[in-house]
Amino acid sequence: MDRFDARSSRPERSAEPGPTFVRRHGGSRIGLRPSGMTLVGAALLASASALAWPAYAQQTLNVATAGDQNMVDYVKDYLGPMFEKTHPGVKVNAVGTGPGDAGSQKIYEKLDAQKKGGAAKSDFDVIVIHQKAAGAMVKEGLLERYTDKIPTGALATRDTAKNALGAEVSGYVMPMFHSQTAIAYNADMVKNPPNSYPELVEWVKKNPKQFGYNGIKGGMSGVAFVAGWVAAFGGDGAKLEKGPYDPNDKAKWDKALADLKEFNKNAVITPGNAGTLDMLNRGEIAMGPVWVDMFYTWMADGKLPPNMKLKLVSPGMPGQPMYYAVPAKANEKLAQEFVALATSPEVQAEGIVKRFNWYPGIDAKNLEGKLDQAAWKKLFADISPEDLQSKGKPFPIAPYFNDILEAYERKVAN
Amino acid sequence: MPRPSPLGLLLVAPALALVAALFLYPLGFSLVAAFTAEGQPTLRHFEKAFELYATDIRFTIFIVLFSTVLIALISIAIAGVLTLSETPWLIATLRWLYRWPLFIPFIVAAQCMRTFLAKNGLMNNTLVAAGVLEPLQAQSFLDWRGIVITFVWKQVPFVTLMLAGAMASLDRATIEAGRNLGASRLRVLVELVLPQVSQTLLVGLVLSFVTMLSVLSVPMMVAGSQPTMLTVDMAFRINAYGDYATANALGVISYAMTAVVAWIYLRHQVRREAEA
């Protein structure tokens, strides 16, 4: 069930989120360090606003974040100080609950226990959670409906803002970022990359052992490739994303999976998400599915050849957002202001896109003009915002997702 | 035999409690979970384990057995040189070199092997640069061979350390006698030395076998996942499906493999004690 654990338990990734974050963004961090002049300005502003908003005096805003340590650092070192500056007297307290769905699960358990215990006030004011937990929390009434009360609420219109793996979450969540999988390829070795799954199949036939992916046990980029394959060849792709679930559907995938087994004979099975990138780097394969944020991070670190490019093949490949949500009985007003800041085009541009190489949570078109040309071009050079909108798919709903994995084990890997 | 004193029992109590809490209880729990579903006894989880992972079970047995054989051969060779060689610098160098992998954790070894054994990795690049290999002949060892190489590299020093120690404590007179009577060094090693240290060798190999069976990082990081070792499958069952039952069934299958090895070892031990 715990699908995101597979991703976050990648040893390469979780081993050093902190250092990578600092090293990678060493340059852009300088921009955040206020100069002497702005410090004075900020101090003046702070004292002035302290007079203006006495209501904020000595409050704490508790932000609980599922995910790797770099997500906690993001709130603690970047968002928190920014929010405190405009809200004097407020202290932002960031808490990490651990990577993967397990981290979201801990937040869920805490809120659930508080609700059952009849607590007057929630311990968390803002939470950052995965899709699966968001669905459950909305269903059990643990969250506050808030997105129509904040100015940025209308900026996120992608279907992930309304639907979390089949659960209706409209109004309860704001996407913090979108993470996306795509096919990375070496433009020197591949002049005309395939545009779709069927074209990819043809390409692999003609170029045996030049395409690599990590199966389903080595991390989520391979899982995403397989989920995309079943959506492309297994019949009704939209039903996998929206439901309703029908346990008999998996019988319809037999042909698609038999073809995948055939496909695998000419593909290389790599050891993990980073394993695929490693092999691309050494020129051992020319193409493979990757996480876009990892891809750009590796590019920035010089760990991939400069002529690597990305392609989002049709009908589409999965990605996932993380959500900002506000629990019931939280410090509602402050929490909403915090999320409004975090999802403002400026912060999304500077924090999410430039610092993390993630796709923005709000619609990409709102960032135009907020992001310097270089950063904009970098993120959308290979995959246009329109492509992202039409071919960036959610993962299948949980029961289909498990069926796909097990069907792969049974029919393809066996 | 003296009667056990209550004080002695008190002294071992903490150790026994630890074993019970950290090993026996989880073992029992895992056995129960593997053989029951909703409170009823069942073999369903084993059916699933064999249906999905029969290839991986065979793969695991093959990898571990093959590695054990290689470890035995290489450790005997190194320990033999250390004991019987008459070239002081060779002994000194080997003695200094062979222990290094002991201090390197499996996960670090796996990470090193990932770049060392790759198709365009350090090993092949070196061979190509040295003119030994044509670039087109280079192939990736990041499959079952990579796992075997990592295991052997990691476990040989451990077994060699035990074996060389045992050989060093042998009575040199038997070796000298053999040499004086004209036996080659190889013959002395095989016919005189090895029979006297076979017990130590067996212990080292049994421990290596069990260790290799339990390593998750190496198969996960070095090779792709089709096929893969049981540890990876267990982790996948839990992380992807939250399915502890099938993971426990796979665990019991691992126990069964170690049990066979333990049985061989114990039988050997008992026979030896009977002879003594």
* B231 located within any domain: yes
Chain A residues in contact with B222 (beta carbon < 8 A)? 271
Same fold, A3-178+320-382 and A180-319+393-413: yes
The residues near A199 (Cβ < 8 Å, ≥ 6 apart) are A313
> Residue B7 pLDDT > 90, yes or no?
no
Give the residue from chain A lying closest to B244, CA to CA.
A1
* B183 located within any domain: yes
Provide the β-strand partners of residue B261.
none
**Per-residue model confidence as pLDDT tens digits over A312-335:** 998 999 998 999 999 999 999 999
**pLDDT bracket for residue B35 (50, 70, 90):** very high
pTM recorded for the entire structure = 0.77
Asked if residues A183 and A193 have their Cβ atoms less than 8 Å apart, the reply is: yes
Provide the β-strand partners of residue A128.
A65, A324
At A334, which helix (H) or strand (E)?
Answer: helix A332-342
The mean-pLDDT minimum among A44-48, A56-60, A366-370 falls in: A44-48
Chain A residues in contact with B107 (beta carbon < 8 A)? 11
Nearest CA among A63, A53, A128 for reference residue A85? A53
* B157 located within any domain: yes
Contact A406 B241 (CB under 8 A): yes
Residue A246 C-beta-side C-alpha neighbours within 13 Å: 10
Residue ranges covered by each domain of chain A:
3-178+320-382, 180-319+393-413
- pLDDT value for A274: 87
Q: How far apart are alpha carbons A207 and A202 in whole angstroms?
A: 9
Contact A405 B240 (CB under 8 A): yes
* B11 located within any domain: no
> Is A275 touching B (CB cutoff 8 A)?
yes
* B14 located within any domain: no
At A344, which helix (H) or strand (E)?
Answer: none
A33 or A224: which carries more pLDDT confidence? A224
Provide the β-strand partners of residue A363.
none
What's the ipTM? 0.81
Provide the pairing of β-strand A287-291 with A167-168. Answer: unpaired
Asked if residues A220 and B239 have their Cβ atoms less than 8 Å apart, the reply is: no
- pLDDT value for B106: 94
What fold does the segment set A3-178+320-382 form as a domain?
Answer: D-Maltodextrin-Binding Protein; domain 2 (3.40.190)
Task: Tell me, rounded to whole angstroms, the distance of Cα A43 from its chain centroid.
Answer: 35
- How many domains does one find in chain B? 1
Of A215, A402, A414, the CB nearest to B224: A215
Of A5, A271, A406, the CB nearest to B221: A271
Contact B225 A217 (CB under 8 A): yes
Q: How far apart are alpha carbons B25 and B29 in whole angstroms?
A: 6
CATH of region A180-319+393-413, choose from 3.40.190.10, 2.60.40.10, 3.30.2270.10, 3.40.50.300:
3.40.190.10
Nearest CA among A164, A183, A167 for reference residue A175? A164
> Residue A50 pLDDT > 60, yes or no?
no
**pLDDT bracket for residue A57 (50, 70, 90):** low
Share of chain B residues as helix, strand and coil, in percent rounded to the nearest 5: 80, 0, 20
Contact A2 B239 (CB under 8 A): yes
- pLDDT value for A103: 82
* Percentage of chain B exceeding pLDDT 90: 57
* B29 located within any domain: no
> Residue A22 pLDDT > 90, yes or no?
no
Peptide bond just before A394 cis, omega within 30 deg: no
Asked if residues A152 and A347 have their Cβ atoms less than 8 Å apart, the reply is: no
B179: CATH: 1.10.3720.10
> Is A248 touching B (CB cutoff 8 A)?
no
Contact A409 B52 (CB under 8 A): yes
Q: How far apart are alpha carbons B231 and B238 in whole angstroms?
A: 11
Query: Could you list the residue range(s) of the whole structural domain that residue B176 is in?
Result: 36-275
Cα(first)–Cα(last) distance of chain A, in Å? Answer: 21
**Per-residue model confidence as pLDDT tens digits over A246-305:** 888 888 899 999 999 999 999 999 988 888 999 999 989 999 999 998 898 888 889 999
Task: Measure in Å the smallest separation between the Cα of B138 and chain A Cα atoms.
Answer: 10
Residue B46 C-beta-side C-alpha neighbours within 13 Å: 13
**Per-residue model confidence as pLDDT tens digits over B190-215:** 999 999 999 899 999 999 999 999 99
Size of interface A-B (CB pairs under 8 A): 87
Asked if residues A82 and A53 have their Cβ atoms less than 8 Å apart, the reply is: no
Structure token digits, residue B85: 């060689």
> Residue A35 pLDDT > 70, yes or no?
no
**pLDDT bracket for residue A368 (50, 70, 90):** confident
